[in-house]
Chains A and B, each alone.
Chain A
């Protein structure tokens, strides 16, 4: 079956760095997405990786290893507004998104 695993909840301190991991098992693979979702709001697109390596976008970076079925989202210089759920989703061979349950990130002062 197809499956995405990510931690349920993480806590970090304002100004610090946090890494949210995601492992995936899909029928075929056409890339991996990360979304941010604040409580009561729409998920918003953060990043897309299809090739191995690190993609940096400001304070956020995303990494992919296709051979290991693994990705992570790295958040630097954490701010209180980064408190949100982070959703990992893999695109399978039919271009259907397979979603993880999300990681709730709590930022403490």
Chain B
């Protein structure tokens, strides 16, 4: 299934660079999510958007800035990142928020390395 597409797949950047991660879903879903996945740690929820409105910001540093121009697209803008931000960044979508049996569908992620 290629319902959720993330670009780029790999990104190497210096601490002073600015870059953006892109996510697009083709499933007609109304909710979109950004997660951080580090080795041997649980998925960390970063941001949630429902019908283009941000509903969650789990104490994420301001060097991460999300943008959701419409229900199909989600961006994560990166600026002045730290080495500990190196991780796999996953985007997901679901039909809605607040119903139990709707699974989240994930993209393949962007592997981010900070030099």
Contact = CB atoms under 8 A, between A and B. Distances in A.
Interface in A59-99: 87, 89, 91, 95-99
A51 B112 CA distance: 39
B101 interface: yes
Nearest to B6: A42
A44 interface: yes
A43 B90 contact: yes
Interface string B31-63: 000000000111101000000000010000000
B4 interface: yes
Contacts of B43: 87, 89, 97, 99
B115 to A, nearest CB: 21
A50 B99 CA distance: 12
B103 A33 contact: yes
Nearest to A29: B100
A42 B103 contact: no
A106 to B, nearest CB: 15
Interface string B80-115: 000000000010000001111101111111000000
Contact of B101 (A44, A50, A87, A99): A50
A92 B96 CA distance: 15
A4 B44 CA distance: 13
B103 A48 contact: yes
A101 B42 contact: yes
Given A4-B42, A100-B42, A101-B41, A43 B98 contact: no
Interface string A1-40: 0001000100000000000000000000011010000001
B90 A31 contact: no
Nearest to A89: B43
Contacts of A30: 100
A37 B98 CA distance: 24
Contacts of A45: 103-105
A43 B56 contact: no
10 contacts: A4-B42, A40-B108, A42-B107, A45-B103, A48-B101, A89-B43, A96-B45, A97-B43, A99-B43, A101-B40
